[in-house]
Amino acid sequence: MTTRRATPPDLDPGSAELLALVRRRGALTRAEMTEATGWARVTVTSRLERLLADGLLVGDEAVVQGRGRPATRYRLDSSRAMQLVADVGALGMRLARVDLEGNIEDTRSIPVEIARGPEEVLALVRKGFDELAAAGGDRPLWGIGISLPGPVDFAAGKVVSPPIMTGWHAYPVKDTLQEWYACPVLVDNDVNAMAIGELDGLPPGTRDLLVVKVGTGIGCGIVCGGQVVRGAAGSAGDIGHTAADATGVRSGPVDCRCGKRDCVEAYTGGWALARDLEAELDRPVSVDDVVDLLGRGDPTALRLVGDAGRILGASLATAVSLLNPSAVVLSGQIAVAAGDHLLTSVRERIYARALPLATRTLDISISREWPDSGVQGLARQVGELVLSGS
Ligand SMILES: [Zn+2]
């Protein structure tokens, strides 16, 4: 264990507000801070001194502006501390060390099945975090974020009744990590984190978005008005286990791994594609094999993913009509491997079925941020948590 346990500064609301202004606007002089906030000069000075003392802001070389005296500009020192994030999926996790602005400094990808349970999976997270922290130089660790592929009680930092995560129900993920690292910890659902991360790859000002993760399973992250919609119990966006409309594409019924029948995921998830390919190719096929076959343009795999896209598109058409997002992003290892073959069939169904007004300015695309959208979304949220002083 080499991780230093220095905690982030406990900022007063005024200093936190000034810090937020600098993060939003970039480097500012003292005069610009006074003008932007409307605070008295002495107030700006005392809050600025506080942020300088904590090392959160640093002054760059004085610049001459107009005919005035040279003035120092103050900016966030994003290298002041590090943050660690872990995007945990059904079959593997991606870990990253990021700076205070969420810029990725280093990553690790580790294969592990989520069904091995919280002790084993979190022990691997800890090992990876310790390696990343040790390689990150002599800086304190100020925040941790982890996302998991199931419904998450965001405030409690626990997984709630996950359909596929054996042993994870109510496990104290947040408390465990807080005990190990003594810093603020945020726990979120994997697709919610991805949805926030995908905002980076979309036109500035995008505030209404659906992100669909097509991986081993199917999940959907919803952003409305710039905010993630988590729902009353943390299960918002769980489109994978809603009833599929396979009319004209496939005949059912098909058993789902959640115990129900004819879920969207039972036709379109990576595990379902593996099952169907296994039947057609008459040999064992894993989810990784599906990704590999799609990447190599295997005609059977491409046909099946086209069918999956039409079934997924029918469900997304309903979501698009309900929520009127400006963008739908298809992400996850299956979506990225299938590319246009999935995109075309999803598009076709959404345009055929959703309300014309809802699709008039809708952009449907394959993720530009994969495989880092999850860690980026976590980094952004942890940064907010740590630097907002709350
Ligand atoms: Zn299901």
Task: Tell how far the Cα of 339 is from the centroid of ligand 1, in angstroms.
Answer: 24
Compute the 3-state secondary structure of the chain and give helix, strand, coil in percent, each to the nearest 5.
Answer: 45, 20, 35
Residue 351, domain member (yes or no): yes
* 123 shares its domain with 258: no
Query: Does residue 244 share a domain with residue 333?
Result: yes
Nearest to 50 by CA among 75, 18, 24, 80: 18
- Does 2 map to a domain? no
Whole-number Å distance between alpha carbons of 307 and 214: 14
Q: Smallest Cα–Cα separation from 287: which of 265, 307, 300, 269?
A: 269
pTM for this model (two decimals): 0.89
Quote the ligand 1 centre to 22 CA distance (angstroms). 46
Closest CA to 95 of 112, 81, 79, 80: 112
Residue 1 lies in a domain: no
How many Å lie between the centroid of ligand 1 and the Cα of residue 167? 18
CA of 244 to the centre of ligand 1 (A): 10
> Which of 60, 76, 92 is at the close of a domain?
76
Answer whether 218's CB lies under 8 Å from 212's CB. Answer: yes
The CA 39 to ligand 1 mean position distance, Å, reads 55
92 CA → ligand 1 middle, Å: 21
Q: Which residues of the chain have pLDDT under 50?
A: 1-5
- Residue 121 belongs to domain with CATH number: 3.30.420.40
Q: Does 209 lie in the same domain as 152?
A: no
Distance (Å) from CA 236 to ligand 1 centroid? 15
Q: Ligand 1 mean position to 254 CA, how many Å?
A: 10
Q: Separation of 144 CA from ligand 1 center, angstroms?
A: 31
344 and 216 co-located in one domain: yes
- Say if 361 falls within a structural domain: yes
Q: How far is the CA of 334 from the centre of ligand 1 (A)?
A: 18
Tens-digit pLDDT profile for residues 234-288: 889 999 999 999 988 988 799 999 899 999 999 999 999 999 999 999 999 999 9
- Containing structural domain, residue 227: 203-366
Same domain, 136 and 59: no
Task: Specify whether 338 is located in the same domain as 379.
Answer: no
Question: For position 64, which CATH number holds?
Answer: 1.10.10.10
Q: What's the 151 CA to ligand 1 centre distance in angstroms?
A: 14
**At 319, is the secondary structure helix, strand, or coil?**
helix
Residues 252 and 330 placed together within one structural domain of the fold: yes
Q: Within this chain, do residues 209 and 358 fall inside the same structural domain, yes or no?
A: yes
Q: Give distance in angstroms: CA of 97 to centre of ligand 1.
A: 34
Residue 345's pLDDT is 97
